């Protein structure tokens, strides 16, 4: 079972599945967009699975995509057309999602929404500890411990403080 996003085929569980599949196995897929969301990659993986590996695929929400049935020329032709249309729709939807997400983020930033963790305030003793650190009375690690913050945070705050002077 692969619960990771179908944005590409570099998913550990999918790779594991590929290694285990053998000729005449049957693969059930809930929906074609669970297999992948890139038009070309879906078509390529479908070809690898059905032609190279020799397995059958059943897409549960699209009965036309059942390689067990219609192995004649007409059945293969219809499956290929449906697969291409659904692959296109899956990739197009992914593109639309990214665009809407980018638009939403831009609109939020325009409204002044701040993303990420709120900045950590400096403790009351920061300025004295900073002075002691810069005058080499204490080490960077000691300064960070005295301010109860990670070394990188102390250093970042120290640099910002020095630039503001």
pLDDT of 8 reads 67
For the ranges 26-35, 53-62, 87-96, 126-135, the maximum mean pLDDT occurs at 126-135
The reported pTM is: 0.53
Q: How far apart are CA 4 and CA 46, in angstroms?
A: 18
Q: Residue 11: pLDDT band by 50, 70, 90 thresholds?
A: confident
Averaged pLDDT for residues 30-56:
84
pLDDT of 108 reads 95
Q: How far apart are CA 60 and CA 84, in angstroms?
A: 17
More confident residue, 100 or 43: 100
The kind and range of the H/E element at 130 are helix 126-134
Q: Where are the domains of the chain?
A: 12-110, 126-164
pLDDT of 75 reads 66
For 124-157, the pLDDT digits (tens) are: 999 999 999 999 999 999 999 999 999 999 999 9
The kind and range of the H/E element at 58 are strand 56-59
Average pLDDT, the chain: 86
Q: What architecture does CATH give domain 12-110?
A: 3-Layer(aba) Sandwich (3.40)
Does 14 have pLDDT greater than 90?
no
- Coil, strand or helix: which one is 51? helix
């Amino acid at each position: 079972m692969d619960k990771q996003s179908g944005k590409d085929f570099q998913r550990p569980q999918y790779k594991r599945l590929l290694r285990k599949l053998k000729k005449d196995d049957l693969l059930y897929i809930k929906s074609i967009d669970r297999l992948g969301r890139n038009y070309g990659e879906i078509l390529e993986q479908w070809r690898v699975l059905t032609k190279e590996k020799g397995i059958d695929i059943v897409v549960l929400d699209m009965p036309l995509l059942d390689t067990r049935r219609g192995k004649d020329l007409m059945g293969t032709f219809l499956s290929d057309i449906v697969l291409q249309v659904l692959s296109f729709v899956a990739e197009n939807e992914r593109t639309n999602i990214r665009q809407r997400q980018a638009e939403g983020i831009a609109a939020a930033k325009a409204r002044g929404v701040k993303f990420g963790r709120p900045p950590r305030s400096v403790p009351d003793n920061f300025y004295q500890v900073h002075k002691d650190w810069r005058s080499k009375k204490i080490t960077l690690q000691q300064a960070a411990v005295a301010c109860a913050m990670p070394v990188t945070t102390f250093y970042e705050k120290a640099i910002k403080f020095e630039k503001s002077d």
